[in-house]
Amino acid sequence: MAFPSSSTIAVNFVESGTAANSNLTIGKLRQTRYLLDKAEADIDVEADLCMVCDPSQIQSLLRTTEVTNSDYNTVKALVAGEIDTFMGFKFVKSNRLTLNSSGYRQAIAFERQGLLLAIGEEIKVDVGPRRDKRNSIQVYVSGMFGSTRMWEQKVYQVLCDETK
């Protein structure tokens, strides 16, 4: 998915000090949340804000005190070994996120109304025997789905350097 530079949190973003490449950080989450709030993201229901990220980004956040310390976070992240919600974001783990041309992972943050589900082909289901597998019953399901940005200010990519 191609993003304009205005919808990108840079890989070397820091809140203060010298810019340096980093994986997913609290500073990048704060900046993303700020931009979504500035775009008047409608956050009425839990999971209105989502962050789709790779397991590497989850591990990076688990190394920070704000995520793992119960003084900052009501969900005990280290007990569960994962992050469910933090700073209003519902975290969705995905191993299908791509690397950009510079080799940085593209995590995607969005508000629910910022994306649109497109259904190219309705779900088809076929249940029947497979002659080549000794008449074992096979359940086959297919469909074609996609998504697109409907509101550019409510969808951001957060570039992460997984080597950090």
The tens place of each residue's pLDDT in the chain, 164 residues long, gives 677 778 899 999 998 888 899 999 999 999 999 998 888 776 665 558 999 999 999 888 888 877 766 656 665 554 555 677 888 888 999 999 988 888 899 999 999 888 898 999 999 999 999 999 999 999 999 999 998 888 888 999 999 998 87
What domains, with CATH codes, occur in the chain? 5-115+151-160 (3.30.2320)
Contacts of 72 (CB under 8 A, 6+ apart): 65, 66
As a whole number of angstroms, the distance between CA 48 and CA 111 comes to: 6
DSSP-assigned states of every residue in 98-132: PB-TTS-EEEEEEEGGGEEEEEEEEEEEEEEEEGG
Phi first, then psi, for residue 95 (nearest 5°) are: -95, 10
Residue pair 100/44 in contact by the 8 Å Cβ criterion: no
Instruction: Report angle CA 144, 148, 154 to the nearest 5 degrees.
Output: 145
User: Residue 65, exposed/middle/buried by CB under 10 A (0-12, 13-18, 19+)?
Assistant: exposed
Residue 135 pLDDT: 93
**pLDDT for res 147:** 87
Per-residue model confidence (pLDDT) at position 100: 85
Would you tell me how many other CB atoms lie within 10 Å of the CB of residue 162?
A: 16
pLDDT of residue 86: 82
Give the C-alpha separation, 164 to 157, whole Å.
18
